[in-house]
Amino acid sequence: MSRFLGQHILSVNQFDLDAITQIFNVADTMQVYTRREKRTTVLDGAILGNLFFEPSTRTRVSFGTAFNLLGGEVRETVGVSNSALAKGESLYDTARVLSGYSDVIAMRHPDAGSVEEFSKGSRVPCINGGDGPNEHPTQALLDLYTIKKELAFHQRDINGLHIAMVGDLKFGRTVHSLAKLLCLFKDIRFTFIAPTELGMPDYILDTITNAGHQFNIQDSLDGQFDADICYQTRVQEERFPSKEEANKYRGKFRLNQAIYTQHFKSKTVIMHPLPRDSRADANELDNDLNQNPNLAIFRQTDNGVLVRMALFALALGVENKVKDYERAV
């Protein structure tokens, strides 16, 4: 029986190496369905409550796609103004009600800790799709899954990895979750490149130190980086007190082909959780990198469906039945 059966997935703190291996093994088996080589109806009749109280493209749609590819149906609520939260209903009550209509719930909300609070009222598993600046555990899993695959291409594994994280490391929840997950491995080196005001929070630095890993902090992209991964991020404008405040930092850490060639190894894999801010005054990941074979951003988004299919299968206890419900394409 899976340790995830009936469990909420709220934080990467829940995972150890065995859990990650289990999720990734199940994710590998989902490729035949995302490639439409086969079809399964293992979740026929099941309903995903997909609640997004903050903007999202990838996470919301890939949760829905993952559930549909397992044969289930998706009911969406998008935006606080379209829900009774706008009338003052508590997260607890909303969870209590919607968990009567769903077999599993995925949720994004602007407040740190909100998904955990919601889960206390839920009678079905809840998956955190991002709670404010706090965590984004499924993004961290898909990022780690991508890193594993990209390194395997170069006959490497994750132990001994050097990762550079660049940009808004204060408000970027994906880098918080990913850094914590990487601490489970051996001899990880982190280079954090961010304006001093947007540096990695101390509690993450403490986690890294306590796990016996090394980190360097820089406030500019000056120098040569022998990083295996360059993980670029967007300035999280929506978490600043004002747009003007965020604008002080937008465009500070641009990456384009020339900058990449100057500062990184020819094999450095370029990642970004997306969305990338492509407006001219930000442009943290230039379109001139689109043909660079080391740009992994769209492999990340594809991997998101595999990892989310695995999480649904494990949380609902069908990971060993998926093949039994295969149908002709």
As annotated, the active-site residues are: 58-59, 87, 108, 136
Judged by CB under 6 A, the stretch of 57-65, 162-170, 233-241, 257-265 that binds ligand CP is 57-65
Among positions 59, 114, 122, 233, the unique one binding ligand CP when judged by CB under 6 A: 59
Strand duo 73-78 + 47-52: pairing = parallel
Side chain identity, residue 72: G
Binder of ligand CP out of 2, 12, 58, 189 (CB under 6 A): 58
Among 43, 105, 169, 274, interactor with ligand CP by CB under 6 A: 274
Q: How far is the CB of 310 from ligand CP (least distance, A)?
A: 18
Between 57 and 216, CB nearer to ligand CP: 57
Instruction: Please tell me what DSSP assigns to residue 201.
Output: P
Restricting to residues 191-250, name those near ligand CP by CB under 6 A.
Answer: none
Across 313-324, b (16+ Cβ under 10 Å) vs e yields: bbbbebbeebee
Q: In the complex with ligand CP, which residue's Cβ is closer, 60 or 213? A: 60
Residue 215 to residue 200: CA distance in whole angstroms: 11
Report if residue 57 touches ligand CP, rule: CB under 6 A.
yes
Residues 132-151 that bind ligand CP (CB under 6 A): 139
Q: Does 56 bind ligand CP (CB under 6 A)?
A: yes
How many C-beta atoms surround the C-beta of residue 113 within 10 A? Answer: 14
Kindly tell me which of 60 and 308 has the beta carbon lying closer to ligand CP.
Answer: 60
Task: Name the residue nearer to ligand CP (CB basis): 27 or 322.
Answer: 27
Least gap, CB of 309 to ligand CP (angstroms): 17
Residue with tokens 């069908």: 318
- Any contact of residue 79 with ligand CP (CB under 6 A)? no
Residue in 79, 138, 139, 83 with CA at minimum distance from that of residue 109: 79
Counting residues that bind ligand CP (by CB under 6 A) gives: 10
For residue 58, the minimal CB distance to ligand CP (Å) is 4
Helix (H) or strand (E) holding 301: helix 297-315
| Nearer to ligand CP among residue 275 and residue 317 (C-beta) | 275
In the Cβ-directed half-sphere of 106, how many Cα atoms lie within 13 Å? 32
Least distance from C-beta 1 to ligand CP, angstroms?
Answer: 30
Q: How far apart are CA 197 and CA 275, in angstroms?
A: 22
- In the structure encoding, which two tokens stand for residue 90, read together? 């508590």
- Residue 31 sits in the site that holds ligand CP (CB under 6 A): no
* 8 A C-beta contact, residue 232 and residue 296: no
Q: Which of 169, 207, 202 shows the shortest CA–CA distance to 188? A: 207
- Six-digit token pair at 165? 């994280």
Q: For binding to ligand CP (CB under 6 A), which residues are involved?
A: 56-60, 130, 139, 273-275
